Structure 1
């Protein structure tokens, strides 16, 4: 629904109201400006015209009085000094009449009365003042006094009457200006009151409009939204008021419908999840029961099964020692098969138990020095290496957090496999090295043995997966599966580097200690600073940190990458258990053991 069918929008209504109020206020402001100008004109007239006219009219009358008094005094005394006020009065009269004439330009009645006073004053001087002065000069004071009679007094009284009319007219004009001032002042007050009323009425209209068009619709919409928020998701929301609020209500209603739809889907998903959780709970219970059975089996395998197996192996070995050569050749072969089978069964049970205990029977993580672990591994594998003429070396290795027995077993398995899977007539060489990559130690065990084809690189870590017959390379096929489980238990990963030119390189990662990571970063920053200062580029591969914060790693034999292995033979994996090896140790940051 558009704004045309729904009526004026809130914006249109507010703009219209403000426009009307603005026009009214502008009109009132213009009227007030005009009235204020008129008031100012009337005030100026009082202050600069009628006021000064009254003062100058009084001064004009005083000048006329001075003339009449001086003429009378001169007629009595005949002294010329007595005529000085007359002469100065005449000058003052002319100045005042001229000045009053300029001020009375806008007042014709005042100007007429002023002309009448001027004419009568001039007539009085011609009829009275000049004859008296002439008579005194020619005939003496007695003759002059005879000229001053009632007629001359009446002449001056007419001047008095004209001055009274002039002052009355001036006063009337002044009062008229004062009335105009009061009228325009009152009109200004009325206009201000009207402006205030316009503002008040506009405010009241705005408040009522906001109450009706904003507050009530919003309150109603908020109430409906609260009902939905309280859980009534099927309550339809309707809007009222301006088109904006109706559109808002429509949007909220659309949102409610979507929420209701999503909630329905969530309920269905929750029901499915609850069903899945129920199934998982059942499976977890079954898994717990299965684990108990496995633990019971492990106990039986480690005690009940091995006891008769040891008896079988012992008596088979006894038969082999006592009756070897006394029976026929086939009987000796059968006895040998029995002894070998019993021994393989013992090794298989022990390996399975060791595999199942990884991560389940734990001694807790501690800081383990892999250099010390490699010394222990060298001692454990000494007999096998001497028999094969193998050489074991390692670069300086880091310290990590882990379980030392498991890490010893891990490296012992890798070294034993490298010694076992050797090429004929080639003395085995095994080298272990480490480098820091992205906060992890990448440890490499490389040999010059038979190698592994890339398509079998992942299969060798599968339990019981063998790539050769047990006659070619003895073992249970569980050694590298133990290696993988130990590495993953320590938070790392293990893989075969298929780009090795000769032999096999098995790499695995272990989390580095925070101090080693910080030391590596500091060393990298220092190298970058030195490179910037000298203008030389950093050498290739300088981003890999070495074991220890201040220790340099000798050249590792696993750093050379090629396109792939060249041997066409395959290999399997087996382990050398710590309990079956010697306990000899070696020391040094780079050790060579033969």
Structure 2
């Protein structure tokens, strides 16, 4: 392997640059977080401490003025009601002082001024307010006014001065806090500007570095690869830049060499493939011709066998009618065997002839209403259903594209099979339903008959395959083979539902019309948008958009010959 000169790889360079930028940004982020926290702390102090302190200091001045006015008014009028503002003021003053003391825990100068105001107000009440109130209570307004002098007024003016000093101190503290808010805000802006500059510088460095160590070498490599792609397989590819690019260039050059070496082999392989394709085409044509000849042979053979077989059957029946009872018992039995064999052979030939005609004699696809088809099926199977006391029902059926005679034959075979393979002493019930699944109509024929074992689910569709003897259940064993051929001719598939709990359920698919697919899609979108509780089907057999129904009872209620029980024909 080629040795490369040691140097910083592209990943190492990018990681180093990103590491430096990340370290700077993390440092700036930590500093910004600290400054932001300090700024938030200062803002909280302005909003939650110094602001309320200013308001409460002003309110304290108002409360003390109310007390002084109330004392003087009581000394003038002697009306006890004038002392209400005084008493309320004392209570309010105590609450304000307690609140101011709590808010000024971090401001010792404010607490000192507050203590001075508290001492002066206490002294004023004990030396002026309470004596005036007591004198007025004892001697009336004259006695109370005698105690209010210039000296007492000066004492209260001293309280005003102390409160003014308290307010000034609060304003000073508030201004200092506001200055700190401005300072931290400015510092935060500066840090953000620095971070933006770091990002901008890092981006510029990254762009220049990528252009030098990534874009230019990559553009050169792309140009060389394009020359090779244009057909110059002898052009050697050389890389430049980081070790990764040089290694990539060598790998691409090795690939070029391998492509050049194998190009001749590819051409030879293409010629061989073309020859094989020609042979396969000839074999496909031969197979198509052979299948066509085979179908023609089956048709001709079955058709030409009819005449001699009819003669054999006719003369055997004549022998049976003319000499029945005249010969010995064994001869009558032999003649019966011959008649039965000829009849069964005739049925086999007719079924084989019908099987060979499927898809060969066509009337063209049209839109077929399966509801009308089910009506025809009910009519064609009426005799067998009356004999077996069987009930046929079906849901609302769709309209599809197909050949109506073949589809009628398909459903007649399924219904007839369900009626034939019934359980003894159990009234036979056959139900046909349809549902739209992934753009196809899945049609089901369900009965309550003897059922099919899962291991025989595929065997029953093979021509002339039987699971029971002809004595137990008559037939040629070609009915389900015809069903399969008709379904596949219409572009569908057929299978046995091995999970059916009772009887047999045969399902097959037929392509749905585009309009039905679009309508189902629109209905599904509407149900997702507005789900309702009325969408549940009435039973497991019913379609979400179909309703189980029965044929009009023109011939529905008929008495059988055994017990007069009525039969429902659907």
Which bin holds the TM-score, normalised by the shorter protein?
0.5 to 0.7
What is the CA–CA distance in structure 2 between the aligned matches of 1:518 and 1:433, rounded to whole Å?
20
What is the CA–CA distance in structure 1 between the aligned matches of 2:239 and 2:535, rounded to whole Å?
74
Helix, strand or coil: the match of 2:530?
Answer: helix
Deviations 1:533-571 (A, max 9, x none): xxx7676569x99879xx642399xxxxxxxxxxxxxxx
Q: Could you say if the C-alpha distance between residues 409 and 293 of structure 1 is closer, same or farther in structure 2, counting changes exceeding 3 Å?
A: same
What is the CA–CA distance in structure 1 between the aligned matches of 2:499 and 2:278, rounded to whole Å?
48
Q: Is the CA contact 1:435–1:545 (under 8 Å) kept in the aligned structure 2? A: no
Helix, strand or coil: the match of 2:330?
Answer: helix
Residue of structure 1 equivalent to 2:321 = 321
What is the CA–CA distance in structure 2 between the aligned matches of 1:585 and 1:317, rounded to whole Å?
39
Alignment of 1:474 with 2:468, yes or no, is no
Alignment of 1:354 with 2:348, yes or no, is no
What is the CA–CA distance in structure 1 between the aligned matches of 2:299 and 2:492, rounded to whole Å?
30
What is the CA–CA distance in structure 2 between the aligned matches of 1:384 and 1:290, rounded to whole Å?
40
Residue of structure 2 equivalent to 1:593 = 569
Residue of structure 1 equivalent to 2:494 = 494
Q: CA deviation at 1:335?
A: 1.8
Structure number with higher relative contact order (C-alpha < 8 Å, ≥ 6 residues apart): 1
Q: CA deviation at 1:279?
A: 4.2
Alignment of 1:237 with 2:236, yes or no, is yes
Deviations 1:422-470 (A, max 9, x none): 1122222211122223332222111121111222222211222211111
Q: Where does structure 2 lack aligned partners over 5 or more consecutive residues? A: 11-215, 557-566
Q: Is the CA contact 2:430–2:448 (under 8 Å) kept in the aligned structure 1? A: yes
Deviations 1:85-131 (A, max 9, x none): xxxxxxxxxxxxxxxxxxxxxxxxxxxxxxxxxxxxxxxxxxxxxxx
Q: CA deviation at 1:236?
A: 6.1
Deviations 1:376-409 (A, max 9, x none): 1111112222222222221221111111111101
Q: Could you say if the C-alpha distance between residues 554 and 377 of structure 1 is closer, same or farther in structure 2, counting changes exceeding 3 Å?
A: closer
Helix, strand or coil: the match of 1:593?
Answer: coil
Helix, strand or coil: the match of 2:305?
Answer: helix
Residue of structure 1 equivalent to 2:517 = 517
**1:203-222 superposed matches below 5 A:** none
Q: Could you say if the C-alpha distance between residues 333 and 267 of structure 1 is closer, same or farther in structure 2, counting changes exceeding 3 Å?
A: farther
Q: Is the CA contact 1:316–1:338 (under 8 Å) kept in the aligned structure 2? A: yes
Residue of structure 2 equivalent to 1:291 = 291
Q: Could you say if the C-alpha distance between residues 555 and 322 of structure 1 is closer, same or farther in structure 2, counting changes exceeding 3 Å?
A: closer
Residue of structure 1 equivalent to 2:547 = 553
Residue of structure 2 equivalent to 1:336 = 336
Q: Could you say if the C-alpha distance between residues 353 and 229 of structure 1 is closer, same or farther in structure 2, counting changes exceeding 3 Å?
A: farther
What is the CA–CA distance in structure 1 between the aligned matches of 2:408 and 2:365, rounded to whole Å?
14
Q: Is the CA contact 1:397–1:547 (under 8 Å) kept in the aligned structure 2? A: no
Q: CA deviation at 1:360?
A: 3.0
What is the CA–CA distance in structure 2 between the aligned matches of 1:387 and 1:459, rounded to whole Å?
28
Residue of structure 2 equivalent to 1:427 = 427
What is the CA–CA distance in structure 2 between the aligned matches of 1:262 and 1:537, rounded to whole Å?
67
What is the CA–CA distance in structure 2 between the aligned matches of 1:541 and 1:321, rounded to whole Å?
58
Q: Is the CA contact 2:299–2:357 (under 8 Å) kept in the aligned structure 1? A: no
**1:75-114 superposed matches below 5 A:** none
Alignment of 1:307 with 2:307, yes or no, is yes
Q: CA deviation at 1:492?
A: 2.1
What is the CA–CA distance in structure 2 between the aligned matches of 1:438 and 1:545, rounded to whole Å?
19
What is the CA–CA distance in structure 1 between the aligned matches of 2:283 and 2:376, rounded to whole Å?
43
Q: CA deviation at 1:340?
A: 1.7
Q: Where does structure 1 lack aligned partners over 5 or more consecutive residues? A: 10-213, 557-583
Q: Is the CA contact 1:520–1:546 (under 8 Å) kept in the aligned structure 2? A: no
What is the CA–CA distance in structure 2 between the aligned matches of 1:444 and 1:370, rounded to whole Å?
13
Q: CA deviation at 1:290?
A: 2.0
What is the CA–CA distance in structure 2 between the aligned matches of 1:220 and 1:513, rounded to whole Å?
51
**1:262-301 superposed matches below 5 A:** 263=263, 266-267=266-267, 269-270=269-270, 273-274=273-274, 276-301=276-301
Q: Is the CA contact 1:379–1:586 (under 8 Å) kept in the aligned structure 2? A: no
Q: CA deviation at 1:337?
A: 1.7
Residue of structure 2 equivalent to 1:413 = 413
Scaled by the length of structure 1, what TM-score is found? Answer: 0.51
Helix, strand or coil: the match of 1:433?
Answer: strand
Q: Could you say if the C-alpha distance between residues 328 and 493 of structure 1 is closer, same or farther in structure 2, counting changes exceeding 3 Å?
A: same
Residue of structure 1 equivalent to 2:507 = 507
Q: Is the CA contact 1:497–1:504 (under 8 Å) kept in the aligned structure 2? A: yes
Scaled by the length of structure 2, what TM-score is found? Answer: 0.53
Residue of structure 2 equivalent to 1:254 = 254
Helix, strand or coil: the match of 1:507?
Answer: strand
**1:46-195 superposed matches below 5 A:** none
Helix, strand or coil: the match of 2:368?
Answer: strand
What is the CA–CA distance in structure 2 between the aligned matches of 1:459 and 1:250, rounded to whole Å?
61
Q: Is the CA contact 1:367–1:399 (under 8 Å) kept in the aligned structure 2? A: yes
Q: Could you say if the C-alpha distance between residues 330 and 283 of structure 1 is closer, same or farther in structure 2, counting changes exceeding 3 Å?
A: farther
Helix, strand or coil: the match of 1:416?
Answer: helix
Deviations 1:238-273 (A, max 9, x none): 549889997675344223134346646645654553
Residue of structure 1 equivalent to 2:388 = 388
Q: CA deviation at 1:370?
A: 0.6
